[in-house]
Structure 1
Amino acid sequence: MSAFDDLLAFQRQTEALSSVAERLGWDQETVMPRGATEQRAEEMGAMESVLHERRTDPRIGEWLEVAEPRTEAEARAVELIARDFTRKNRVPARLASEIARVTSLAQGIWAEARANDAPEEFLPTLDNVLMLKREEAAALADGGDLYDALLDDYEPGATGAGVAALFDQMRPRLVALREDVLGAENQPAALTGHFPHDTQLRLARACASAFGYDWSRGRMDIAVHPFSSGRWQDSRITTRVVETDPFNCFYSTIHEVGHSSYELGIDEDYAFTPLGRGVSLGVHESQSRIYENQMGRSRAFSGWLFARMHDAFDGLNVANAEEFYRTVNRVTPGYIRTESDEVQYNLHIMLRFDLERDLIAGRLDVADLTEAWNARFLKDFGVAVDRPANGVLQDVHWSVGLFGYFPTYALGNVYAGCLNAAMRAAVPELPEALARGDAAPGVEWLRENVQRHGGLLPPRRLIEEATGGEVGPEALLDYLEEKFGRIYAL
């Protein structure tokens, strides 16, 4: 075997073990007994120690020096392995294992604190997580910006300064649109009533099937914070059920189907290689958001959903499909990011981006985080946070050490805006299909132009090749202004 073949064979086992570790995380958030938290933390720490040892194995450096890739895909695989090898060697094994152990524990502590509306039960643990992530960032940055070092894990090539500039460009039009919408005379009605748990789950499965979710390689479970997990032949989704708000369940499901379908849509030849996963979280989010919003909240698909909800729940307080479409896209100054409308969603991300950047830089202490969150939310949304579960405790991300993750949600929206414009031009029959509850034409276009490539192309290049244009926020902002301008008769 050549050095390249040896490298890929070694990497294959590492990827398989990484997938097992990911399955442990899925289990913890879905079906693991609550009393097993400490045991799982030890298991996660041990698994991370094994993975870190493999990812920093000196033989990788030796193979990389002499490996001779023969194709573009092989050259890209070598590039990604080398990048990971360099980054992992900067982080001490002790630190990698401790981060895995502490964040596994922290996740359970956060969930309890959120349920109890008690930030004091979680913030000391968050402070410990933050200290560990600062140490990791310092090792990765090698003298550079700490936040950039963490962000690069999730969106390679992005920088905090670049994200901040993008947000500065987006914010004025988003704020202006929000003010126009909230001040409009004709406001859509809210959906009210009781929507039983089992009926919601049955319809959620129908929504997942409408978007082509492969049930032979996936499953759906309940989680506090919906997520997807897995790749290749096993990619699972979760959702949550609130019996007064079925949209929470249905659109969380569609969102996670977008993530999961990305992993399941990657070229099978890339399985167990660095190319066999989504290239970045921003691109990943572009898939979940375009499934959820540009297709799922479209007039066409919401009409299909209206008919099924009307039958399943013995009528609705919304009279017809057009009014239902307006209700699905109703803009309200709510607290929760995952339940936010398209107009305000990115403003939620901007708040978190600024706070976590300050936390990593040491400009904000964890002890002051709740007050800082509440003050910023009041300033940005004009509403005082009523309780911590609707404020600083609402997201799982910081408990599991995902600093640098939040901006990828907004980047995903920007990518989705670009992709939607190109997809609508290329697939003019899509609205008619969505009205039948069939998202296949859009899903197939996304699979061909984005999903199948996996990690083959860098994030921005992938979106640019898929759309034939440069990446920028204009397509997203134009789409939002046109859509909500019509809904609210602006």
Structure 2
Amino acid sequence: MSSYEDLMAFQRDTEALAQVAGRLGWDQETMMPRGAAEQRGEEMGALESVLHARRTDPRLGEWLETVTPGDEVAVAQLREIRRSYERNVKVPARLASEIARVTSVAQGIWAEARANEDVAAFLPTLAEVLRLRREEAAALADGGDPYDALLQDYEPETSGALIAALFDRMRPRLVALREAVLGSDRQPAALTGHYPEAAQIRLSREIARNFGYDFSRGRLDLAVHPFSSGSGNDVRITTRVNEKDPFNCFYSTIHEVGHACYELGVDPDFLLTPLGRGASMGVHESQSRIYENQLGRSRAYTGWLFGRMQQVFDMAPGDAEAFYATVNRVQQGFIRTESDEVQYNLHVMLRFDLERALIAGTLEVADLEEAWNSRFLADFGVAVEKPSDGVLQDVHWSVGLFGYFPTYTLGNVYAGCLHHALREAVPDLDAALAEGRSAPATEWLRENVQRHGARLAPREVIATACGFEPDEEPLLTYLEAKFGELYGI
């Protein structure tokens, strides 16, 4: 074989082992018995040791020096392998293994602390996770900004300063829109009633199929915090159920289907290669957010959903227009994943500032709950009354995902751009959505975004799909138009 073929054969085995590690993580969140947590941590640490050794194998450096790429796909493959190699050689094997072990165990400790509203039970574990991530960030930064070093795992070619500038541009218009909406005389009614779990799951499976999820290559399960896991031909999703709030289940499902369809939609030629995954978490979130919001919360699609819910549940009488307003109701609330489109990004901005301070060392874990609660009161005007509504609500920090949160808003920004381009490309989209069919939209997204995998850089993916460089204006214009109409402002 040629050197390039040798390299790609080696890389294929590494990618396959990484999928095994991901499957262990999925099992831990869905089916693993609670008593297995410590052992699973050891298993994850051992597997990470194997993966780290492969990702830093000296042969990779030799191949990268000698291989001559034959086409643009090979150029992209080498770019991704080189990025991984250069990052991983900076991280000691001991540290990589310890991070995997500790964050695996930390998930269960967080979940139990959240269920018991017991911040104190979780803080020592969080302090250990933060210590390890700070050590990793310092190694990766090589004298630069530690938070920027961690960001590269989720959104290559960006920085905390660029994200902060974006958030500073967005915040005034989002706050102004929220104040106008909450001050409007036109306030939609909340959904009431009882929606049994089994029926919610059945309808969630139907909704997932509507959005193109392939159950022959995936499955739907329950988890404390919904997520999508896997790539290639095994991509699994989870949701959660509240029998008083079916929207939590349905829109969590649609969100995770967006992630899953991205992975399932990647060109099969990229299977088990560095290109066989999403370009970044920002681009990934663009798929989950456009599925969930611009498509799933549209007037056309909610009209179909209203009809199906009338058939499946014993719902009070109403009409599709009032239901559309209820689905998009803006209200004071604590939970990011349940937030309306107007306030969602304000939740992300809070977390971005806090985690940036944690990595910088200007905020310590012992002071985190107070910092969260004070900032939430300042930003949202309501006091956090219990930890599950505050610092314990998200799983991300427990598993060490510092640098992940800003990609949610980057995803919203990218989704705003994609939605603008999609509406121009598919002008009769609402007719399909009104029948519960998302195919015209999801096929456009598959062709213009998903099939590329990681072949293109993140912003290049969006610019290529849209025909213009991504920025926040399409998202903000969409939000102001949609909620201006809904609330008569």
TM superposition score category, shorter chain reference: over 0.9
1:301-359 CA distance string (max 9 Å, x none): 00000001112112236x10000000000001100000000000000000000000000
- Are 1:432 and 2:431 matched, yes or no? yes
> What displacement does 1:386 show?
1.2
Unaligned runs of 5+ in 1: none
Number of the residue aligned with 2:36: 36
CA distance in 1, matches of 2:154, 2:351: 16
Q: 1:212 Cα deviation (Å)?
A: 1.1
Residue of structure 1 in register with 2:336 after alignment: 337
Task: Map Cα deviations across residues 423-449 of structure 1 (whole Å, 9 max, x no partner).
Answer: 000001210000000000000000000
What secondary structure sits across from 2:152 in the alignment?
helix
Q: Give the 5 Å matches for 1:311-350.
A: 311-316=311-316, 319-350=318-349
Displacement of 1:401 in angstroms is 0.3
Q: Which amino acid aligns with 2:260?
A: S
Residue equivalent to 1:447 = 446
TM-score (normalizing by structure 2): 1.00
User: Is 1:177 equivalent to 2:172 in the alignment?
Assistant: no
Residue-by-residue CA offset, 1:151-194 (whole Å, 9 max, x unaligned): 01100001000000000000000000000000000100000111
For 2:89 and 2:310, locate their aligned partners in 1 and report how far apart those are by CA, in whole Å: 57
Q: Residue type of the partner of 2:117? A: D
2:342 is paired with a residue of what secondary structure? coil
Measure how far apart 1:69 and its partner are.
1.1
Superposed, which structure 2 residues align to 1:170-319 within 5 Å?
A: 170-316=170-316, 319=318
Confirm or deny: 8 A CA contact 2:193 2:315 kept in the other structure: no
Partner residue, 2:140: 140
2:94 partner letter:
R
State how far apart, in whole Å, the 2-side matches of 1:316 and 1:75 are.
58
Gap regions ≥5 residues in structure 2? none
Task: Please give the alpha-carbon distance, in whole angstroms, between the structure 2 residues aligned to 1:23 and 1:467.
Answer: 34
CA–CA distance in structure 2, aligned partners of residues 462 and 191 of structure 1 = 38
Partner-residue secondary structure (3-state), 2:109: helix
User: Residue type of the partner of 2:441?
Assistant: G
Matched residue, 2:422: 423
SS at match of 1:199: helix
Deviations 1:30-55 (A, max 9, x none): 00011100010000000000000000
- Between the aligned partners of 1:72 and 1:316, the Cα distance in structure 2 is 57
Q: Which whole-Å CA distance do the structure 2 matches of 1:344 and 1:35 have between them?
A: 38
1:151 paired residue number: 151
2:226 aligned partner, one-letter code: P
Contact 2:110 2:122 in 1 (8 A): yes
The alignment's C-alpha RMSD in Å is: 0.5
**Kindly, what percent of the aligned residue pairs are identical?**
71
Q: Name the SS for the 1:155 alignment partner.
A: coil
What is the aligned partner in structure 2 of residue 4 from structure 1?
4
Number of aligned residue pairs: 489
Cα distance in 2 for partners of 1:405, 1:109 equals 20
Q: Does 1:405 align with 2:442?
A: no
Query: 1:155 is aligned with what amino acid?
Result: E
Is the partner of 1:54 in helix, strand or coil? helix
Q: Show the 5 A alignment for 1:343-422.
A: 343-422=342-421
Deviations 1:222-252 (A, max 9, x none): 0000000011111010000001100000000
Once residues 105 and 215 of structure 1 are traced to their aligned partners in structure 2, the CA distance between those partners, rounded to angstroms, is 30
How far residue 2 of structure 1 moved from its aligned partner, in angstroms, is 1.2
What is the 5 A alignment of 1:60-79? 60-79=60-79
Name the TM-score, length of structure 1 as normaliser.
Answer: 0.99
Q: How does 1:96-175 map to 2 (within 5 A)?
A: 96-175=96-175
CA distance in 2, matches of 1:311, 1:453: 39
Runs of 4+ that moved beyond 4 A = none
2:218–2:237: 8 Å Cα contact kept in structure 1? yes
Q: Is 1:486 aligned with 2:485? A: yes
